[in-house]
Structure 1
Amino acid sequence: MTVSKFHNAVVTGACGGLGQALARELIDGGARVALAGLQRPALDALASLAPERCAVYQPDVSDAQAMQAMAADFMDRFGVPDLVIANAGVAGGFDTAQASDLSVLRRMLEINLLGVATTFQPFLEPMRASGRPGALVGVASVAGWRGMPGNGAYCASKAGLMVYLQSLRAELRPTALSVHTVSPGYLRTALTAGNRFAMPGLLEPDEAARRLLTGVGAGTEHIVLPRRVGWLARLLGLLPARLHDHILLGQPRKPRVGEAGATEIPGIKKPR
């Protein structure tokens, strides 16, 4: 598949960053697109690019019933999708010693891991039954390759996602459906705006979206954005664990909820 061959697409986390860039690329390519996110003005602005080909939804991606209702409505209006991108995700620092951070871990797993399964589930059987080629895309992260100090919740959620996608890929080998794992490094988005540490290979969302869709269209099962960040991560992974940890411990931690630069996590209240 190429971008122009995606006719019906679903994109979660479409309000900004990579999700918004993906939605724009697909809309520009003529696809009918389900735009799912929490910020209605941003979704409406995207839908205005092609009102007759866009549907706007505001579900909590971890709510299976809400996602099933969204899927039913979209398929009733536009038919079975040939591309489903589970892009919705949240990030934030984590400290196991802080009791308040346990809710952060729970919510991050609900959105970053469970949210991918609840996104795919209502579309999977209709896509499989259609017999036509289709792609299921999960947006993970290079951070899922190895745990990083102060970022345990995010790393764990993305590592779990990668293993889940491996399982789903194996299950769907006999079908016309493909499963793609995307591992971005650092993208210039709201999720990285508060980072106080070095971000090598920082990539613009528009370029990342083009590379992602090109990779999916070419059938690439593992997509790293940009590739050089993947090479750097693998190189660091060759170091002895103590040395690797020492290097990471020298970097500033990702802000926790309530700290300056932290991004909002839906369902988590800022501490007073």
Structure 2
Amino acid sequence: MTATVFRNAVLTGACGGLGQALARALIHQGAAVALVGMHRPTLEALAALAPGRCAVYTPDVADTAALQAMAADWMARCGTPDLVVANAGVAGGFDTAEASDLAVMRRMLEINLLGAATTFQPFVKALRAQQHGALVGVASIAGWRGMPGNGAYCASKGGLIRYLESLRAELRPAGVLVSTVSPGYLRTALTAGNRFAMPGLMEPEAAAQALLAGVARGRTHIVLPARIGWLARLLNVLPGALHDRLLLAQPRKPRVGEAGATAIPGLPHPDETPTHDRQSNNL
């Protein structure tokens, strides 16, 4: 079977490791690409690889009006896309005992979950009308089961997986593919601060190629790398108490303000966070 070559793509989270790898792969295919992210210099450097085929947008992905304006501008330029990838995402540790972390959870849900819906919404009617195309949501293995110290991220990605299931059923009769991508660990800024073992760590370039190949072949579920899915399934058959005990023995993902944590757009800079809220609560 010959894989589809995408000609018109919209990509959010284009500034991150996976996003940049996807952008380069799509540009190399000859696609026109709407590059959506929050760091304009990075997006402009990508657009310079194919100036006549790329446009740069810097909205907040949780801003409905901004995403609708982006979509209208892009479709006026290049028509209805055949690929929309909701890749924007943030990660960070979470402690329910800390009031300041509730803002982290709210923002993570806005970006990781609501951001996918606001990305897809402006394109759904046009995709239904053209009777083909693909909507791709980048979830995570972390959405398969909750992990201690990572409740906000797991909730956002678990919610995204269920949302994509619903959307898939809605759009299947129109011939529109909805793919759920569940990466394990990719070598990106989101994992750079992790203090625990990361089995199956994958380079973003390899992940991008596997993602695009899977979508082109019509796959509805893609795990990156595939073997990490089998490991996750194996862990999930363990009794809950044993599973939790194993995970509790692992170091926690850094919370916002802790060493190794990645910034989350829309939250105060870590230096603005009160000292008592920045202390580690790892067991």
Q: TM-score, normalised by structure 2?
A: 0.94
Cα drift, residue 5 of structure 1: 2.2
Report the Cα distance in structure 2 between the residues aligned to 1:99 and 1:186, rounded to whole angstroms: 29
Report the Cα distance in structure 2 between the residues aligned to 1:33 and 1:77, rounded to whole angstroms: 11
Report the Cα distance in structure 2 between the residues aligned to 1:218 and 1:28, rounded to whole angstroms: 18
- For structure 1, the 5+ residue unaligned runs are none
- CA deviations 1:231-254 (Å, max 9, x no partner) are 000000010000000000010000
1:62/1:238 CA distance change after superposition, 3 Å: same
Aligned 8 A contact 1:15 1:42 in 2: yes
Q: Which residue of 1 aligns with 2:133?
A: 134
Cα drift, residue 89 of structure 1: 0.2
- CA deviations 1:162-212 (Å, max 9, x no partner) are 000000000111112010000000000000000000000000000000000
Which amino acid in 1 is paired with 2:202? L
Q: Which residue of 1 aligns with 2:76?
A: 76
1:265/1:2 CA distance change after superposition, 3 Å: farther
Aligned Cα root-mean-square deviation (Å): 1.0
Counterparts of residues 259-270 of structure 1 (less than 5 Å): 259-269=258-268, 270=270
More moved, 170-179 vs 110-119: 170-179
SS of residue in 2 equivalent to 1:215: helix
Report the Cα distance in structure 1 between the residues aligned to 2:121 and 2:25, rounded to whole angstroms: 24
Counterparts of residues 199-210 of structure 1 (less than 5 Å): 199-210=198-209
Report the Cα distance in structure 1 between the residues aligned to 2:28 and 2:223, rounded to whole angstroms: 24
Counterparts of residues 32-71 of structure 1 (less than 5 Å): 32-71=32-71
- CA deviations 1:139-181 (Å, max 9, x no partner) are 0000000000000000000000000000000011111201000
1:82/1:222 CA distance change after superposition, 3 Å: same
Runs (4+) of structure 1 moved beyond 2 Å?
1-5
Aligned 8 A contact 2:3 2:217 in 1: no
Cα drift, residue 16 of structure 1: 2.2
Aligned 8 A contact 1:4 1:31 in 2: no
SS of residue in 1 equivalent to 2:190: coil
- CA deviations 1:98-119 (Å, max 9, x no partner) are 0000000000000000000000
Q: Which residue of 1 aligns with 2:95?
A: 95
Report the Cα distance in structure 1 between the residues aligned to 2:124 and 2:18, rounded to whole angstroms: 23
Query: Percent of aligned positions with the same letter in both sequences?
Result: 73
Report the Cα distance in structure 1 between the residues aligned to 2:16 and 2:180, rounded to whole angstroms: 20
Q: Which residue of 2 aligns with 1:255?
A: 254
Aligned 8 A contact 2:140 2:182 in 1: yes
Which amino acid in 2 is paired with 1:154? Y
Report the Cα distance in structure 1 between the residues aligned to 2:18 and 2:210, rounded to whole angstroms: 11
Counterparts of residues 1-272 of structure 1 (less than 5 Å): 5-131=5-131, 133-269=132-268, 270=270, 271-272=273-274
SS of residue in 1 equivalent to 2:267: coil
Which amino acid in 1 is paired with 2:256? V
SS of residue in 1 equivalent to 2:202: coil
Which amino acid in 2 is paired with 1:263? T
Aligned 8 A contact 1:59 1:66 in 2: yes
- For structure 2, the 5+ residue unaligned runs are 275-283
Report the Cα distance in structure 2 between the residues aligned to 1:129 and 1:175, rounded to whole angstroms: 8
Cα drift, residue 17 of structure 1: 0.6
1:17/1:225 CA distance change after superposition, 3 Å: same
